[in-house]
Amino acid sequence: MIGAPDAGADPADGAERLAAISRMPKLALVIDDLGQHAARDARVLALPGPVAMAILPDSRHATKLAERANAAGKTVMLHLPMAPAGGPYAWQPQLEQTELIRRLHSALAKVPHASGVNNHMGSQMTDQPQPMASLMGELQQRHLFFLDSRTNARTVAAATAQRIGLASLSRDIFLDDDPSPAAVTAQFRTAVRLARKQGSVVIIGHPYPSTLALLEQELPRLRAQGIDWVDIGQMIATRGNRATVAHGTLGVYR
């Protein structure tokens, strides 16, 4: 966080410091699958910076955690289940549009204060144009953003959001597909390198013990490494709804 300048500080020094920070590569962090395990949720909540907390609507602690996260100034997200995920809130290919929208509304009611949505699983849904168009239209009406977790190489979710001008992002790095400590460490280092290469990186992790241990150790060191950890809203502004090279051409999602 940027503190207030000292009373006797030279304003030019403060301006230079802010300018230097603005030029730093940006990193945004989302932790998925929250609401299921109170102790791990608490560790995520205790992380010192702008972590976004993606909460499953059908989890035991969903509503209480969303309230606590909002009170702590964290970004609250609905982690919307999509096929192959099941359950009462899951978007599945056989469902009518009216039922999909009803499930979205019910899920948002379970996760109060959500300012955005990302997909939980979703490899059987995010490549389907009509459901994704319905989802993005609903989110736009509610002034919510969308983060494409990119669990499907054929996803059209981010492209659909981009076409209607919905505030949106795509995930660059999963920290913990392999949750072993060595693999998580390697993925975090890859994320930092990618931030330096392309100017920004969006990371998704999960509340695994190995992931939380690494984040507790490494996040406080980011600024010293020349990386600016920002919230999702600032990352959306930084990217301006444009795709990175890995996800599109000339800023347009493939």
Q: Are strands 252-253 and 248-249 parallel, antiparallel or unpaired?
A: antiparallel
* Structural tokens at position 182: 């060595």
Which pTM was predicted?
Answer: 0.93
Say if residue 5 is preceded by a cis peptide, omega within 30 of 0: no
pLDDT digits (tens, 9 = 90+) for 125-182: 999 999 999 999 999 999 999 999 999 999 999 999 999 999 999 999 999 999 999 9
Residues 218-252: tens digit of each pLDDT: 999 999 999 999 999 999 999 999 999 999 999 99
* Candidates 3.30.365.10, 3.20.20.370, 3.40.50.1100, 3.40.50.800; CATH matching 38-173+222-253: 3.20.20.370
Cβ-contact 27, 221 below 8 angstroms: no
pLDDT in tens, 84-134: 999 999 999 999 999 999 999 999 999 999 999 999 999 999 999 999 999
Tell me the domain boundaries of the chain. 38-173+222-253
H or E segment to which residue 92 belongs:
none
Work out the end-to-end distance of the chain between its first and last CA atoms, rounded to an integer number of angstroms.
36
Beta-bridge partners for 169: 147
Q: What is the Cα–Cα distance from 43 to 207, expressed in whole angstroms? A: 8
